[in-house]
Amino acid sequence: NKRCACDGRSLAGQGNFLVAIEINLQDFIDEAEDQIRVLNDGLLSLEKDENNEEIINEVFRAAHTLKGGSGLVGFTKLTELTHHLESIFDLIRDKKLALTSAHLDTMFEVLDVIMELMGEVDSGQFSTDIGPVSKKLKAILDAQKNAATTPIVAPSANPEPVKSPEIASTISTGAAEFIGRELTPDEANNLSRMQSESDPIYQIFIRISQDCDVASLFMFMIFNKINELGELILSNPPEDELENNEEFKEVRILFSSMASIDDIRTELQMPEVEILLVEPLQVETPEMLLEALFKEESIEINAPVVVDISIKEETVEKTVEPIVKNEEPVKKEAFPPPPVPAAKSALVAKEESAGGKSGSTTLRVDSTKIDVLLELAGELVINKTRFVQVQLDLEKILGKNGKTSDLKETVTQLMRISNELQESIMQLRMVAVDQVFSRFPRVVRDIANKLDKGIDLIVEGKDTELDKSVVEEIGDPLMHLVRNSVDHGIESKADRKRKGKPETGTVYLRAFHQGSSIVLEVQDDGKGLDIPVIKSKAVQKKIITEAEAASMSDKEAANLIFAPGFSTAEAVSDLSGRGVGMDVVKKNVERLNGVVEIVSEKDKGSTFTIKLPLTLAIISAMLVRTSRNIYAIPLVNVIEVVEVSKKDIVHIAKKEAISIRNETITILRLDEVLQLGTSNRDLETFQVVIVMAAGERIGFGVDSLIGEQDLVIKSLDSHLVECPGIAGASILGDASLALIVDVATLVEKVIAGIY
């Protein structure tokens, strides 16, 4: 077993080493999530353009990074899968394997298993069986090995040099000198065989940091990479002696490979590697030097070549570029004797070579720390408004003088600073909605393939930012809407062709800001909602009566799809038919103080719009007064405010209503709904705040308006949580309390006929 102590937790795997390495598990998880997202997006892109070299390289790098990270924490199941993926894409990069749709299907299966494995990281109990997908990946690699994939090279362009026994002897002598001992007969024969196959032979010196407690793990990873890049000839110490032995910090390796020196250095540079030296095996004759130059493609084969000692020195200087941590000059000999200055990481070396100082612009912070800051900012907002109130009260008592003017100026500065501080802290919690959107291309692909539909998903506004808490909650509602559009909205290829539509349907997923809210849209160009069928199903399921169905408008009928248990599917499948999807959408959106609307046209398509506050911690609200109490109505629900007199009120089905621009709107007297009395009915004129939720507009009758204000939401005590019509509370500047109206619940009760 391989164990990794990570913040008190452990990853259990299988391997050849017993590893105890302190590492931040969350860093590994964050990095893995980023690389999995790159893999997913890359595979989806390769379905449309399988020869895109840039994307192939991105996927290769993501698999390589994921393999390295999982190897460091001892996550061997993930290491095995990503190792195979990396090997496959290495072949694709080298044009030795043609990527097919069958390969991509297998890789998507692997990606699903990888995500299952990542879901098990917290528990450390990895029960997911990787055997089936691992076998599929190995089958791809084995098929390539058995196929005739050796690149064809024109003889005139690359004639193979003829080797003589003298040159072979020189190779063996150089190898023995480098390794530091005489070669055994088997090793000499193996070296001779490699030489005859004409692949370049490289000598490598690697030193692991003396402070590294898991040198054996890095040695294991180094030899894995060596075997991927080419074929190991010999090493000192031998590979089997390095396993489970932390004493060995240095190794000398001879191996053959068609990879370039730069590629070898890049692949072998690891965090704990202090020294990495790579060069072709030393040669002592003009013939061997010429061959080495051919292999490095330093000169053209057909060009006249003059070989002398100056060329040899130039070649050595070019190929030997050890990475060092200090600024001391690098010795010209290929492998200087120890001690040698420690190596820099490849990233630092690259940045310093560009002549600048390295520095990260990103800092990862635990979200709970930001939550504490946001809580303090909320208290500051409350006290800011109290300062404003105190300043106004003092002006009334003392009049305008020098002291009150100074206080006013100070309060103004305090307001500006607190507003900027609040906005900055809010920005810390803002994340791109792409964190949610990135999962949908794969979802649409899988469902479309399962249903044999042609569907294009177009994502717009994925860089739009909103609060982290909202992003975490909005995933499920969007998932149901997207699945609904793909399953119910988009027609089959045959139906679309019959209607004169393109066989491939389109689903749009959008995000954009609108005032202090964010709007999310899921739109399709499918068949739209069939209102008669919806009414019929609702009557059949006893959600409404036949009389209600007959008098119901198309807009009201469309909202029936949000009713619990409602579904138009003829049969239950693993995609739909149980009548829980749209119900979940409505409940989750309303729980986020948002609204969802539907616009649909038969055979043209449907658009589902979700409107949400940017954050759940601080909201913009309309403050109103009724029965001497102050209430806050979230601005995200407010449409407009109108003044109404008694003569403007009409009664429809025993309910009060008003007509605005030929639209009849039901009125709720807020004091009566909250059981505060009936004083609002005694007023000759009163204010009506028109709000929208669940696609329905109603008006709240209130005594007067106070104005708009940003409020910090405070949760209610447990015995008040179930209070109908109240979503929370907030403290105002004068220390008074304002209850926040639960618009969605009140509108729902109006629709249900309770009010």
Catalytic residue annotation: 64, 86, 484
Cα–Cα dist 343/268, whole Å:
12
H-type helices in 205-251, by residue range? Answer: 215-229, 239-242
DSSP string, 66-99: HHHHHHHTT-HHHHHHHHHHHHHHHHHHTTSS--
Unique residue bearing structure tokens 């002549």:
355
Q: Where are the alpha helices (DSSP H) in 120-242?
A: 131-146, 165-179, 185-196, 215-229, 239-242
Contact 230, 255 (CB under 8 A): yes
Q: Are 352 and 344 in contact (CB under 8 A)?
A: yes
Q: What's the first-to-final CA gap in the chain, in angstroms?
A: 65
C-alpha dihedral (425, 427, 431, 433), degrees to nearest 10: 130
Quick one: how far is CA 166 from the chain centroid? Answer: 59
Which of left, alpha, beta for 675 (phi over 0: left; psi -120 to 50: alpha)? Answer: left
Is the distance from CB of 485 to CB of 606 less than 8 angstroms?
Answer: yes
**Separation of alpha carbons 5 and 27, rounded Å:** 13
What one-character DSSP code corresponds to residue 333? S
| Spatial separation of the C-alpha atoms in residues 325 and 539, rounded to whole Å | 77
- Which residue has tokens 């362009």? 157
State which H helix or E strand residue 443 sits in. Answer: helix 440-451
Closest to 742 in 3D by CA, of 594, 585, 563: 594
CB-based contact 229:90 (threshold 8 Å): no
CB 386 within 8 A of CB 735: yes
In angstroms, the CA 687 to CA 701 distance is 6
Q: How many angstroms separate the CA atoms of 256 and 232, rounded?
A: 7
